[in-house]
């Protein structure tokens, strides 16, 4: 026998051992009381195991965490983040690219969202990564994106994103499923970065990351730094400036040592080449702007 409850609390099982079935006549009132059996429209019911196996096709096992502030039982701290893997850039690695794939793709892995955790006391941390239903609200059923999560130990003074993948201390299974989980036990004091990823780069979807810990780990999202481009620092502008400086130096040498009207053929040739480079660099700079 198995005891079940409809979470919506309305319809119940109406086969053998349902609330009003004759099978319950074999059970005394004291036995019903000891089992906590009531006949109410509360959505709770019992089923024979063979009926359960016959009518149910999927089972999701949920782990419940006590997050109440005032509680006599063990309490967990919960942090929830919402994010997405996006590829707004033209190519992988662009500034708005947040879909770098798993560690197999080391060149783009660090593009993924990154979360910094500070562990002040040894303890356990659990991660639950959940992706959006692909066709929520429709009858169509597309496959889930394959997702997973890595956790890496970083320097104790780290405040910003990592730009080179490190060996993880923990990795979840990668699965084409709604949720994946990672349970780390006896995590030493220090700082860590959690990286939720899709399996392959450039796969896009939204996600929810929940972090449970027996001590506060103060997780926060690490954002990409965006520096404004300083005028004159692009490769083309720097080449332009170098050519101008060289041209000035050669011009000064011509005027001082040989005279402008008596410059040697070699100097005139070098001067001409520099002017041609200057024209090309200027045209390229105008096109880029």
For tokens 């609200």, name the residue: 137
Which of 87-91, 100-104, 135-139, 168-172 has the weakest average pLDDT? 135-139
What is the reported pLDDT for 158? 94
Split at pLDDT 50, 70, 90, the class of 181 is: very high
Q: Based on the residue annotation, tell me whether 243 is a catalytic residue of this protein.
A: no
What is the reported pLDDT for 120? 94
pLDDT (tens digit per residue) in 48-79:
999 999 999 888 777 778 887 776 777 899 99
Average pLDDT value for the chain: 81
Asked if residue 92 lies in contact with residue 100, where contact means CB atoms within 8 angstroms, the answer is yes
Using DSSP, state whether 269 is helix, strand or coil. helix
What gap in Å lies between CA 79 and CA 39, rounded to an integer? 39
Q: Give every strand in the sheet of 190-198, ordered side by side.
A: 168-171, 147-154, 190-198, 114-119, 220-222
What is the reported pLDDT for 275? 61
pLDDT (tens digit per residue) in 141-176:
678 999 999 999 999 999 999 999 999 999 999 999
* Mean pLDDT of the region 229-239: 54
Handedness of CA 266, 268, 273, 274 (dihedral sign): positive
DSSP E strand boundaries for 157-286: 168-171, 179-187, 190-198, 205-213, 220-222
pLDDT (tens digit per residue) in 25-47:
888 888 888 877 777 767 788 89
Given the residues 6, 14, 66, 104, the one annotated as active site = 6
Split at pLDDT 50, 70, 90, the class of 82 is: very high
What gap in Å lies between CA 180 and CA 172, rounded to an integer? 7
Which of 88-92, 183-187, 221-225 has the weakest average pLDDT? 88-92
What is the reported pLDDT for 257? 62
Handedness of CA 130, 132, 137, 138 (dihedral sign): negative
Which of 105-119, 139-153, 156-170, 237-251 has the weakest average pLDDT? 237-251
Whole-angstrom CA distances from 4 to 7, 45, 49, 54 are: 9, 5, 11, 15
């Amino acid at each position: 026998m198995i005891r079940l409850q409809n979470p919506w609390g309305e319809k119940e099982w109406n086969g053998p051992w349902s609330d009003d079935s004759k099978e319950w006549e074999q059970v005394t009132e004291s036995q019903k009381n000891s089992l906590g059996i009531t006949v109410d429209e509360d959505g709770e019911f019992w089923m024979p195991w063979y009926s359960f196996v016959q009518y149910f096709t999927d089972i999701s096992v949920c782990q419940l965490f006590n997050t109440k502030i005032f509680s006599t039982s063990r309490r967990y701290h919960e942090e929830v983040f919402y994010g997405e893997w996006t590829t707004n850039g033209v190519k992988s690695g662009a500034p708005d690219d947040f879909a770098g794939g798993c560690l197999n793709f080391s060149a783009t892995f660090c593009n993924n969202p990154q979360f910094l955790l500070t562990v002040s006391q040894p303890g356990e941390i659990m991660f639950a990564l959940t992706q959006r239903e692909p066709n929520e609200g429709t009858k169509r059923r597309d496959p889930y994106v394959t997702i997973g999560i890595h956790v890496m130990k970083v320097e104790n003074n780290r405040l910003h994103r990592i730009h080179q993948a490190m060996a993880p201390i923990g990795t979840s299974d990668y699965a084409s499923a709604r949720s994946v989980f990672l349970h780390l036990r006896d995590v030493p004091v220090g700082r860590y970065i959690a990286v939720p990823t899709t399996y392959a780069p450039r796969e896009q979807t939204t996600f929810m990351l929940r972090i449970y810990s027996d001590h506060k780990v103060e997780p926060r999202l690490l954002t990409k730094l965006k520096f404004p481009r300083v005028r004159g620092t692009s490769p083309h502008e720097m080449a332009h400036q170098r050519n101008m400086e060289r041209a000035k130096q050669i011009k000064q040498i011509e005027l001082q040592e040989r005279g402008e009207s008596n410059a040697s053929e070699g100097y005139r040739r070098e001067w001409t080449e520099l002017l041609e480079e200057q024209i090309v660099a200027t045209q390229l700079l105008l096109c880029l702007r």
